[in-house]
């Protein structure tokens, strides 16, 4: 568990997968391009962490948003920042590593978890 873990905003990967499949939230992947290319969640949006601030207005304030990174630290910090300005924001607990380990959907077919 990360020292930045926050039970109020951390969602289990399986819950995020279910809510994403139901169209109940947007999933934004904040990892680097090489991490995204190695493997990512189908239906997620890629927005590298250094671009997330100036692209915030492109994220719907009226809909929950979850952020994902490799382990949950970067995404957790982003989720906290978005919550501070009024978004219904969450962090995918354990990040793409936990998503991958849980056998949840990913692409491409030969997806891997890239090191950071």
What gap in Å lies between CA 29 and CA 74, rounded to an integer? 10
Q: In the chain, what's the furthest Cα-to-Cα distance?
A: 38
Which listed residue (17, 69, 79, 98) is catalytic? 69
69 carries an active-site annotation = yes
Q: Tokens standing for 105?
A: 């959907």
pLDDT tens for the chain, 116 residues: list them. Answer: 555 667 889 999 999 999 999 999 999 999 999 999 999 999 999 999 999 999 999 999 999 999 999 999 999 999 999 999 999 999 999 999 999 999 999 999 999 999 97
**Using only C-alpha atoms, what is the Rg of the chain?**
13
Question: Among residues 47, 50, 85, which one has the least CA distance to residue 67?
Answer: 47
Q: Which CATH superfamily does the domain covering 10-101 fall into?
A: Rhodanese-like domain (3.40.250.10)
Task: Supply the pLDDT for residue 116.
Answer: 78
């Amino acid at each position: 568990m990360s020292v930045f873990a926050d039970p109020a905003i951390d969602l289990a990967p399986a819950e995020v997968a279910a809510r994403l499949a139901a169209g109940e939230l947007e999933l934004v992947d904040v990892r680097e391009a090489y991490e995204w290319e190695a493997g990512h969640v189908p239906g997620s949006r890629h927005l590298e962490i250094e671009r997330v601030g100036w692209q915030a207005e492109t994220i719907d304030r009226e809909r929950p948003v979850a952020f994902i990174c490799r382990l949950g630290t970067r995404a957790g910090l982003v989720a906290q920042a978005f919550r501070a300005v009024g978004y219904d924001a969450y962090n995918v607990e354990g990040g793409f590593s936990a998503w991958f380990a849980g056998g949840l959907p990913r692409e491409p077919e030969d997806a891997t978890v890239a090191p950071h």
